């Protein structure tokens, strides 16, 4: 039986709405990057699977290095706007220009130009997503309230995905070509990005934290390495990224040629994400009852059962596929919002160990592993398609199509089983997280009291005078 969060830790509904709004353009950018743009640049722009795979891998790989840099920089930022909001605002013009270039390319555009546009895109993308994730982890310290925060953001993500699926589907029905469909996604990002970020930074007051003393690189890395719960999350998030990257990259070929439903791909995705929005409230309730990592395990086991059913679907028949994707959708939102809610608890563990609030670093690590998995999956998937001789325009032999289907089904199924096995043993539950918050609150109260006597605010134990520097209990990993 769980107890409700203290009133001070309850995030107001207006804050949840404002915080979730940037999720619309984030999702509108993220879904095409994973699902539509690799095949669009390979087939329609004419770069080919091998070149497109190399470009997307290189851009994603650069993003892997940008994430931890942004995490450290945002953690150390001190401004009248706080640590997170200033970077979110700065990302808007960069991402808007990049969206225009990436989503509206000219036919026959050169590879170096495409690389440059994607580099610009990922610079702005990192500035926005890392600070947005870290800010969400700092809105509340309550174990279950964090699920509510990440679930609201996930709902906005899914609504953004639904919208960017509807736009090209509607344009397709009106006879618009692939370039017009992709451009509509870019315009959605350009319009919603300044609105979403503007509302969030104006409505929500960011928590003002005192300057954090410098933690040398070696102790900082050692604290990360010794963080046992972090290892669980990063390993699972890495292989989850591999699974997601395979599914996203191969979804269009799988539906178009494996299921022989080329015009229904966007509608299957639309149903998938719509069911995801509907399922979020009951999934938040389930996580409150079972615990976050236990609910994540259940989500993975359901995936492991459902994914192989794709091979049993009759070709060219829409309703069986719609039924299966409806079930996928009811289960889809659990993993993304729970991984982020769990990482906020892991950041508390590090805060207790090091005395420093480093949520930016920890959410950067979470983004890094997922993107690394995605980037490896994208290049492996596209190069495998090239290796087996798969043609995105059609005319493939049955064996070639079946090989593509196996690549779509087998790795994600096995990965779901591995994640379930690992997260079943995850050591941070509700009781341990609340003990971490108790330690942090006691330190903060002690630092404020001592600071009032000496004329400044203190944050870490090492700065306290000896009479107030009693050691705190060290939580188990």
With contact defined as beta carbons under 8 Å apart, do 228 and 427 qualify?
yes
Count of CB atoms situated within 10 Å of the CB of 324: 19
Q: What is the pLDDT of residues 359-384, one digit of tens each?
A: 777 887 887 788 788 878 888 998 89
Burial of 408 (0-12, 13-18, 19+ CB in 10 A): buried
Average pLDDT over residues 3-22: 77
Number of H helices, E strands in the chain: 17, 0
Question: Mean per-residue pLDDT for 428-457?
Answer: 69
Average pLDDT for the chain: 83
Percent of the chain residues past pLDDT 70, beyond the cut: 88
pLDDT value of position 413 = 97
Q: Quick one: pLDDT at residue 8?
A: 56
SS3 string, 177-233, reads CHHHHHHHHHHHHHHHHHHHHHHHHHHCCCCCCCCCCCCCHHHHHHHHHCCHHHHHH
- The answer on pLDDT for 5 being more than 90 is no
Return the higher-pLDDT residue of 192 and 157.
Answer: 192
Q: ∠440-445-446 over CA atoms, to 5°?
A: 95
On the question of pLDDT at 194 being above 70, the answer is yes
Residue 210: pLDDT over 70: no
Q: What pLDDT band is residue 454 in, cutting at 50, 70 and 90?
A: very low
- pLDDT higher than threshold 80 for residue 6: no
pLDDT in tens, 241-298: 899 889 988 998 999 999 999 888 878 888 888 898 888 889 889 988 998 999 999 9
* 462 pLDDT tier (thresholds 50, 70, 90): very low
What average pLDDT does the segment 332-344 reach?
83
Superfamily assignment of 11-205+216-428 in CATH?
A: MFS general substrate transporter like domains (1.20.1250.20)
With 80 as the cut, is the pLDDT of residue 34 above it?
A: no
- pLDDT tens readout for residues 383-419: 899 899 998 888 899 999 999 999 999 999 999 999 9
449 pLDDT band, cuts 50/70/90, is low
Averaged pLDDT for residues 116-127: 91
> 138 versus 475: which is more confidently predicted?
138
What DSSP string describes 430-455?
A: HHHHHHHHHHHHHHHHHHHHHHHHHT
Beta strands in 32-76 (DSSP E): none
Tokens 């705190």 sit on residue? 472
- Say whether pLDDT at 94 is over 70: yes
- Distance (Å, rounded) from C-alpha 310 to C-alpha 320? 10
- pLDDT category at 78 given cuts 50, 70, 90 is confident
User: Is 0.75 topped by the overall pTM?
Assistant: no
- The whole-number average pLDDT for the span 3-10 is 54
**pLDDT recorded at residue 459:** 42
| 25 pLDDT more than 50 | yes
Q: Which residues contact 184 (CB under 8 A, 6 or more apart)?
A: 164, 167, 168, 171
* pLDDT of 3 strictly over 70: no
pLDDT at 340 over 50: yes
Give the mean pLDDT of 459-465: 40
Is the Cβ–Cβ distance between 51 and 111 less than 8 Å?
Answer: yes
Domain residues of the chain, as ranges? Answer: 11-205+216-428
17, 135, 205, 364, 379 from 128: Cα distances, Å: 17, 11, 17, 11, 25
Least confidently predicted of 5-9, 252-256, 354-358: 5-9
Average pLDDT over residues 182-187: 92
Is 117 a residue whose pLDDT tops 90?
yes
């Amino acid at each position: 039986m769980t107890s409700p969060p203290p009133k001070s830790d309850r995030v107001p509904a207006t804050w949840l709405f404002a915080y979730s709004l940037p999720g619309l353009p984030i999702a509108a950018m993220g879904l095409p990057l994973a699902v539509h743009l690799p095949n669009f640049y390979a087939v329609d722009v004419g770069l080919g699977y091998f070149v497109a795979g190399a470009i997307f891998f290189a851009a994603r790989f650069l993003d892997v290095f940008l994430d931890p840099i942004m995490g450290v920089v945002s953690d150390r930022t001190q401004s009248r706007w706080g640590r997170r909001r200033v970077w979110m605002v700065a990302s808007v013009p960069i991402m808007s220009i990049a969206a225009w270039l990436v989503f509206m390319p000219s036919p026959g555009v050169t590879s170096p130009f495409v690389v440059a546009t994607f580099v610009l895109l990922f610079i702005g993308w990192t500035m926005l997503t890392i600070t947005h994730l870290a800010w969400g982890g700092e809105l509340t310290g309550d174990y279950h309230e964090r699920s509510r925060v990440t679930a609201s953001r996930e709902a906005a993500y899914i609504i953004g995905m639904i919208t960017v699926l509807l736009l090209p589907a509607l344009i397709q029905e009106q006879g618009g070509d692939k370039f017009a469909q992709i451009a509509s996604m870019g315009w959605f990002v350009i319009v919603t990005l300044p609105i979403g970020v503007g509302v969030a930074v104006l409505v929500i007051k960011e928590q003002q934290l005192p300057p954090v003393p410098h933690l040398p690189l070696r102790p900082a890395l050692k604290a990360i390495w010794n963080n046992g719960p972090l290892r669980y999350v990063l390993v699972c998030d890495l292989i989850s990224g591999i699974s997601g990257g395979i599914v996203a990259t191969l979804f269009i070929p799988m539906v178009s040629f494996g299921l022989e439903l080329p015009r229904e791909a966007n509608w299957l995705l639309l149903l998938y994400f719509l069911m995801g929005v509907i399922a979020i409230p009951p999934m938040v309730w389930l996580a409150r009852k079972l615990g976050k990592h236990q609910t994540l395990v259940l989500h993975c086991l359901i995936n492991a059962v459902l994914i192989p059913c794709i091979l049993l679907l009759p070709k060219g028949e829409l309703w069986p596929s719609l039924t299966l994707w409806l079930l996928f959708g009811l289960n889809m939102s659990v993993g993304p919002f729970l991984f982020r809610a769990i990482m906020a608890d892991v950041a508390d563990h590090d805060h207790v160990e090091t005395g420093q609030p480093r949520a930016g670093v920890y959410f950067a690590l979470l983004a890094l592993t997922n993107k690394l998995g995605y980037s490896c999956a994208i290049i492996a998937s596209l190069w495998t398609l090239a290796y087996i001789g798969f043609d995105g325009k059609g005319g493939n032999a049955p064996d070639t199509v079946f090989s593509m289907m196996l690549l779509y089904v087998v790795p994600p199924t096995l990965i779901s089983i591995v994640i379930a096995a690992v997260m079943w043993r995850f050591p941070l539950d509700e009781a341990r997280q609340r003990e971490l918050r108790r330690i942090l609150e006691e330190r903060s109260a002690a630092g404020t009291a001592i600071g009032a006597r000496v004329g400044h605010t203190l944050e870490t134990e090492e700065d306290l005078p000896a009479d107030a520097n009693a050691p705190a209990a060290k939580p188990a990993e």
